[in-house]
Amino acid sequence: MTQARVRVGVSKSDLAVEIGVSAAAIGQYEAGVNSPRPDVLDRLARTLNVRPGFFGTGRPLARIDTVNAHFRSLRSARVSDRQKAIATAAMVWELTFALERYVKLPVADIPALAAGASPAAAADSLRKHWGLPDGPVKHLVATAESNGIVVVVRPPGEIDAVDAFSAVIMDRPLVITTPRRIENVFRHRFSIAHEIGHLLLHADCGEHSALIEKEADEFAAAFLTPTSSIDAVLPQRLDLSALDRLGRTWGVSSHSLVRRMVERGRTTESSARRAYQRLAALGDSGADPTSSYAGEVPTLLKKAVALAGDYGVGVPELAEILKLNIPQVQDLLGMPDQRPVLRLIDHD
Residue 19, domain CATH? 1.10.260.40
The number of residues in the chain equals 348
- Per-block mean pLDDT, blocks of 10 residues, the chain (348 long): 87 92 91 89 92 83 71 66 86 93 95 90 96 94 97 83 85 88 86 95 77 93 94 93 93 94 93 93 73 87 95 93 91 75 69
Asked if residue 268 and residue 133 are part of one domain, the reply reads no
- Count how many domains the chain has: 3
pLDDT of residue 203: 78
What domain range is 264 assigned to? 225-282
Asked if residue 257 and residue 178 are part of one domain, the reply reads no
Adjacency order of strands within the sheet including 69-71: 69-71, 164-169, 172-177, 150-153
Helix (H) or strand (E) holding 272: helix 269-282
Nearest-angstrom CA–CA distance, 333 and 94: 12
Tell me whether residue 182 is in a domain: yes
Asked if residue 135 and residue 175 are part of one domain, the reply reads yes
Nearest-angstrom CA–CA distance, 255 and 225: 13
List the helix and strand counts (H, then E) for the chain.
Answer: 17, 4
Asked if residue 213 and residue 104 are part of one domain, the reply reads yes
List, in sequence order, the alpha helices (H) in 178-253.
179-182, 185-201, 210-224, 227-230, 240-250
Nearest-angstrom CA–CA distance, 35 and 43: 13
Asked if residue 93 and residue 129 are part of one domain, the reply reads yes
Question: Of 57, 74, 101, which residue is a domain's last?
Answer: 57
Q: What is the pTM of this model?
A: 0.88
Asked if residue 257 and residue 117 are part of one domain, the reply reads no
Tell me whether residue 291 is in a domain: no
Asked if residue 185 and residue 134 are part of one domain, the reply reads yes
Asked if residue 231 and residue 204 are part of one domain, the reply reads no
- For residue 346, the 8-state DSSP code is -
Asked if residue 36 and residue 22 are part of one domain, the reply reads yes
Asked if residue 193 and residue 136 are part of one domain, the reply reads yes
Nearest-angstrom CA–CA distance, 346 and 343: 10
pLDDT of residue 72: 65
